[in-house]
Amino acid sequence: MARIALVTGATSGIGRATALALARLGFHIIATGRRTDRLQELQQEITEVPVLTLQFDVRDRATVNEAIGSLPDDWKNVEVLVNNAGNAHGLAPVQHGDLDDWDAMLDINVKGLLYVTHAVLPLMIARKQGHIINIGSIAGKEVYANGNVYCASKFAVDAISKGMRIDLVQEGIKVSEVNPGLVETEFSEVRFKGDKERAAGVYQGYEPLRAEDIADLITFMVTRPAHVNIAEVLILPTAQASATVLNKQL
């Protein structure tokens, strides 16, 4: 039987690299995101295994359920779910916070992850097998200045991951959490609302992680024997010691 992996946020960065890496392992890929053109590009790039794309916004509960519910029978046995879709929106002190940014981060990073998981779980529970990998962050371990709500969303991912691991242990389902430090993706461009120069500055003066580094870690996690679960990993660039301590050489 085909092994199936579903990756949210596969149109960019960590999710895209993870979809490519899991395809190289032989997983049939369900790639999701909002940008249809990017999903199609990814589908064309992966030639070694079948790829099914689902376009939905993780904030929209009905659409999430409809999309997962629409999976053809031979795509329903999702073995690996990578809950990756998410972003930071803004970087401002709480007294100057933008309410739309707050809604976006809590709705996408927290509720979106829950909606997708809720839709996929029955398929895993029926088989008493599965592996859920949640992408948290160092921001879910340490709060930094102006990170307030983004950090809260990632602290929530940390709590939800721990809770899922407890609740799903009797179902034979592995739950893992990957907490990256600084990874050069479109993340900062989204955070700074398209300001490419400001976004590029985040990654100057040191070597940040690449999306492929996170995909490598996920490859390692999903290739462990059935009795081994890598529950939680903090993965940083060598130049990063904490959320705020960085060896920048500018």
Q: Which residues are catalytic, by number? A: 150
Give the whole-angstrom CA distance, residue 155 versus residue 180: 13
Q: Per rule CB under 6 A, is residue 209 in the interface with ligand 8X3?
A: no
Total interface residues for ligand NDP by CB under 6 A: 29
State in Å, rounded, how far the first CA of the chain is from the last one: 52
Total interface residues for ligand 8X3 by CB under 6 A: 6
Q: Which of residues 20-49 bind ligand NDP (CB under 6 A)?
A: 33-35, 38
Amino acid, single-letter form, for residue 120? V
The neighbour count for residue 64, using CB atoms within 10 Å, is: 25
Smaller CB separation from ligand NDP, 3 or 34: 34
CB-count exposure of residue 61 (10 Å: 0-12, 13-18, 19+): middle
The span of 6-14, 32-40, 136-144, 224-232 binding ligand 8X3 (CB under 6 A) equals 136-144
Q: Per rule CB under 6 A, is residue 139 in the interface with ligand 8X3?
A: yes
Give the whole-angstrom CA distance, residue 88 versus residue 99: 13
Q: Residue 218 has what DSSP assignment?
A: H
Smaller CB separation from ligand NDP, 16 or 174: 16
Q: Tell me the closest approach of the beta carbon of residue 221 to ligand 8X3, in angstroms.
A: 19
The span of 25-33, 42-50, 131-139, 155-163 binding ligand 8X3 (CB under 6 A) equals 131-139
Q: Tell me the closest approach of the beta carbon of residue 234 to ligand 8X3, in angstroms.
A: 11
- 244: tokens are 């705020």
Smaller CB separation from ligand 8X3, 23 or 178: 178
Q: Per rule CB under 6 A, is residue 138 in the interface with ligand 8X3?
A: yes
Smaller CB separation from ligand 8X3, 120 or 243: 243
The alpha helices in 2-112, defined as continuous H runs, are: 13-24, 36-45, 61-69, 99-105
From ligand 8X3, ligand NDP, none, interface partner of 185 (C-beta below 5 to 8 A by class): ligand NDP
Amino acid, single-letter form, for residue 211? A
Residue 7 in contact with residue 84, Cβ under 8 Å?
Answer: yes
Query: What residues contact 189, with CB distance under 8 A and at least 6 apart?
Result: 195, 196, 199
For the chain, the helix, strand and coil percentages under 3-state DSSP, each to the nearest 5: 45, 20, 35
Residues binding ligand NDP (CB under 6 A): 9, 11-15, 33-35, 38, 57-59, 84-87, 108, 112, 135, 137, 180, 182-183, 185-187, 190, 211
Query: Which residues form the interface with ligand 8X3 (CB under 6 A)?
Result: 137-139, 147, 182, 243
